Every structure is written in structure tokens, then in C-alpha cells.
Structure 1
Amino acid sequence: METIQFIEKIRKFNRYYANVLGKIDQQIYHQPFPLTEARVITEINNKNGCTATEARENLGIDRGYMSRMIQKFEDEGIIYKKQSEEDKRQYLLYLTDHGKEIYQDLVNNSRREVGNMIKALSNRDLSKLTSSMEQIESIFSIENPSPSTVSIRSFQPGDVGFVAHLHGRLYDETYKFGPMFEYYVMKGLTEFMMNTDGGQLWVAEVNGEIVGSIAITKYNEKTAQLRWFVLDEEYQGMGLGKRLMETAIHFCKEQGYQHVFLWTVSILNKARHLYQKYHFTLTEEKPNQEWTEAEIMEERWDLDLSSYY
């Protein structure tokens, strides 16, 4: 079959499918919540902490229309905003109790109307119908995979062990670091857990899996140390290193630190490039013969926060 014939068959099905859904929408989505507003309410409920920009881009809504809609929902007590802990410039959207009641009404109405639409179908036909729908969804999911869910968050119980594991595995596989390096990481993390005053540890997650980390520890009243910055190489190129670094530096400014430093090794070229990008400068070098068979060079990098912004 030529491509044009496939296209026409898809267009014909699309017209029929749109008509079917249109009849349902007319029954479900009425004033004061037309279809687009109902979709936004559903998106906010499902994501439970998305930004207006994320919801707008996911649903393909005009920026101005989205802004007016969010303001309306806020004025009517349907949603509330909460400042993001990772980026103070961002505000996350959540449904209020009133908003959750509205969402549940939408769900109940939708279920009732869909139930009315299929009540005359036999179980065999229903099975064929839903199977075909799942097949269509599966095919388009392969062609257009869903974007990864990426987040930077403060550590929780159980995370520190993953951070030590990530360091040990990545540095052994990539750079042939020995067990003494993993001991060094675990020892430092254990000390941090005993006293987190003036510090914080963050992990980067992709689809719920920890793939990176960064931390700030207190060196003295004016100086902080950046530690345990690592990112699984499979997830580089997603901007996670940049987000981790900005989270740590922003925390230093909030805590009133005037200076931050870190120790790394000269063979970590990508990390060193990122440090330079954020205006760290190399201030000290010393040889290390404990972690690898060949001698490597440890480096100290410093950043003056008083002139950073």
C-alpha cells in the first residue's frame, strides 16, 4: 500500500474518533470548566507540583491563555502556588481541597459518559476495542517516547548509601579507582550524617532512579566545601550537572558563605570544565597514590562568592 493510502486511512479514522470524543466532551465538559480548563486541572492533579510552563508545554496551550487560566484558578481557590526548593524563581502548582473535589467530579462525569457510550457493547467487542487502543498507544509511545522525569531534591533516608555506591561503581568502572577511594567517600558521608549543620546533600533523579549527587559541607563560618559531586555518564548531556552545581551555589549564598572550595582530580576533564564555567579557579595541587595504581594529581578549586552575582 502506498504511503498516501495509509495517510488517508489514518485521517478517516481520526475524523471518526474526533466525532466520538466530541460527543463525550459535550456531555462532560460544560461551564464553568470547558475542555481546556478540565485538562489543566487534570494535569496539575496528576503531576502534583508542576510549573505553569510545564503544564502549558505538555498540553500545547497558548502562553497568555494559560496565564489567565492559572490566575482564575487561583482566584477561585482551585489551586495554590508553592515556591520550588530547587529553584526559588519557580512556583509549583497544586490543587486545593476544593480543586481536588472539582477534579473528582470531572473524573466521575467522564466515567459515567464513557460507561453510557459502551454499555451496548459485548465483552468481546470491549476487549477488542481496548486492545486496539492499547496497540495504538504502544506504537506511538515507541515513536514518540515520553520525556524523562528529572528532579533535584534534598537527600532522604536511604539515599546516602546510593551516593556511596554510585561513586564506588563509576570511579572503578571508568577510572579504575580502588577500594580505598570508596572507603574515603563512605567515611566522609558518615561524618556528614553525624553533623549536617550548615550543609546539605542533594541527589539527581531520572524517572525515580538516583543518577547523581552534590553536597555542601560547612568548613567554617565563612567558607563551605563542595563535595560528592558525581553524575552517571549515561545521563550526561541532560543539564543535570549544571542544575546540581547551581543548586549547591545558591545554597551557599542563602547560608551566607563568602567562599566555597572543592577537591577533585586532574583526570576528571568534564567536571573541571564545569568548575571553570562557574568561575572556580585552580589554587592547589598535590599527588595522590592511594586510589589508583598510577599516581594522580589532586586539585583544589576555589570560588569567591562575594563577587559571584
Structure 2
Amino acid sequence: MDRLQYAEKIRKFNRYYASVLGKIDQEIYHQPYPLTEASVITEIKVRNGCTATEVREDLGIDRGYMSRILQKFEDEKIIYKEQSSVDKRQYLLYLTVDGNEIYQKLVETANREVGKMIECIPTNELNRLISSMESIESIFSTEHVLQPNVSIRPFQPGDVGFVAHLHGRLYEHTYKFGEMFEYYVMKGLTEFMINTDGGELWIAEVDGKMVGSIAITKSNDSVAQLRWFILDENYHGMGIGKKLMETAIHFCKEQGYKHIFLWTVNILDTARYLYKKYQFKLTEERPNHEWTGTKLIEERWDLNLT
């Protein structure tokens, strides 16, 4: 059997099983919690302390629809949110007492209705059915699915514009930084392009798509500055930030730098977590009123390589 025939057999099974799933869904899921809402409740229960993004991506739900579902669940006291201690921008989702009761009712209803579907199937056939389902699940488990291809590469012509764009978009959308911050980023990048001696800028890609960056610039013969460390929020949790940090630190060691410093702001919890992880120490603080219209605290972090 060639690959095309395999594909056609799989598609035929998929069409049949989709009709089976449709019947199950019609029997089990009804108002006030249709299939998608019931699936969200189940995901929050199973992945206790997950984020909305994780649930949305796993279930393939539109961002706006997901937001409306969660708002409804909050209004009905089905879920509650807690701010992440690691990343203050993230909120973790949990079921309330009422939410757990609703989940248990969904489970009971599902078990009852599926039980009706299989009550006439002999035990030996049920064993074959479950064995086949387990085989499908095993074959299509994560170790058999292609993982995203993450790569870190030196910048190429045109990449610097992407770095400026990502900074401007992310910091305006998430933190309400103004035009002065974007000017500050673009000014620094322009100066770097004029003189890259002793430095480098790297681009992170996922399946060929640019998603982040980090750079090293020369301060003097023994001191380097880490700059423009950023990652698209949709690609957090993939270890890309660690790859970028390790690339930059390794470069500094190869270049013979003895010391690295960087400037950040106190609200960037995810980045600050990585700086601590790689043994950077907070050494200086100063106020900043230019970027958001409110007081920020700029922080200098230092790392000795000797």
C-alpha cells in the first residue's frame, strides 16, 4: 500500500468517526453548556492552574470566542483567576466549588450516555475497541508528531526592522509604552548597524518564522551589553528564551568579555526570571517617566564571567 492509499484510508475512517463523535456530542452536550464550553471546563479542571492561551490553543478556539466564554464563566462563578507569581501578565484559571460540581455533572452525564451506546456491544468487542483506540492515541502521541523547528541565527538584511517592529508592537500592546520607547529602540539599532564591531544580533525562528531576538554590543574591550532581548508572547514556554540567553552568553565568552550588563524595567517579570536563572545580579535602579507616562523603575543587571 502506498502513501496515498494510507492517506485515503485514514480520511475514510476520519469521516466515519466524525459522525460517531457528532452523535455522542448531541447526546451528551446540551444547554446550558454546549460542547465547546464543556471542553473548556474540562481543560481547566484537568490542567488546574492553566492559562487562557493554553486552553485556547489546545482546543483550537478563536481568541474572541474564548474571551467571551471565560467572561461568562466568571460572571456565573464557575471559574476564578489568580495572577501568576512568575509572570504578572499571566492569569491562571481554576474551577470554583460550583465549577467543580458542574464538571462532575458533565462527567456523570457523559458516562451515562456513552454507556447507553455500548450496552449492546459484547465484552470481547469492547476490548478490541478500547485496544484500537489506545493504539491510535499512542501512534499519534507527541513523540510521533513533528515538533516545531526552533533555530537561532545571526541577523540578516531586513531583520533589524523586524526587531524594532516586535518591540514597538509588544510593548505598546502589553505595557502601553509610548513613541519615545520605540524611538529609543530604533536609535540603538541604527547605531548598532553602523558599527557591529565586537557584537552580534541573533534572530529566533520557529519553522522559519521570526519570533524573537537578542543582541550583544561592545561597551569596552572587557565589558559587553546585552540588548534587544524579546520574544513574541505566542511562543513562550518553548525554551526559546533560554536558547537566546545561552547563545549570547556563549558569544561573550568566546569574544573574551569578562563582564556583561543589561538594562531592563521592573515590570518585565519573565525576562527578570531568566536573568536571575543565569546568575545576573541587580546592581542599580533609576526612575523612568518617559515611556509610559507613569513611573517605571529601570534596572541594571550585571554578570561576571570570570
TM-score band, normalised by shorter chain: 0.5 to 0.7
CA distance 1:137–1:287, shift in 2 (3 Å) = farther
Amino acid at match of 2:148: S
Is it true that 1:132 corresponds to 2:24 in the alignment? Answer: no
Is it true that 1:185 corresponds to 2:185 in the alignment? Answer: yes
Is it true that 1:266 corresponds to 2:261 in the alignment? Answer: no
Amino acid at match of 2:293: E
Partner of 2:167: 167
Q: What pairs with 1:117-266 in structure 2 (closer than 5 Å)?
A: 129=5, 132=8, 135=11, 145-266=145-266
TM-score by length of 1: 0.55
Give 1:156 shift. 0.6
Partner of 2:61: none
CA distance 1:193–1:142, shift in 2 (3 Å) = farther
Give 1:223 shift. 0.3
Q: Deviation per CA, 1:225-245: give whole Å up to 9, x if none.
A: 000000111111100111100
Q: What pairs with 1:70-89 in structure 2 (closer than 5 Å)?
A: none
Partner of 1:283: 283
For structure 2, the residue ranges without an aligned partner over 5 or more in a row are: 16-135
Q: Number of residue pairs matched?
A: 182
SS in 1 for 2:242: helix
SS in 1 for 2:189: helix
TM-score by length of 2: 0.55
Amino acid at match of 2:203: V
CA distance 1:249–1:131, shift in 2 (3 Å) = closer
Runs of 4+ in 1 over 3 A off after TM superposition: 133-145
CA distance 1:133–1:160, shift in 2 (3 Å) = farther
Partner of 2:302: 302
Amino acid at match of 1:171: Y
For structure 1, the residue ranges without an aligned partner over 5 or more in a row are: 1-16, 22-113, 115-125
Q: Deviation per CA, 1:53-87: give whole Å up to 9, x if none.
A: xxxxxxxxxxxxxxxxxxxxxxxxxxxxxxxxxxx
Give 1:130 shift. 8.1
Give 1:146 shift. 2.7
Give 1:143 shift. 7.6
CA distance 1:137–1:248, shift in 2 (3 Å) = farther
> Sequence identity, in percent?
66
Give 1:137 shift. 11
Cα RMSD of the aligned pairs, angstroms, is 2.5
SS in 2 for 1:264: strand
Give me the whole-angstrom Cα distance separating, in 2, the residues matched to 1:300 and 1:197: 23
CA distance 1:162–1:137, shift in 2 (3 Å) = farther
SS in 2 for 1:267: coil
CA distance 1:132–1:157, shift in 2 (3 Å) = same
Partner of 2:71: none
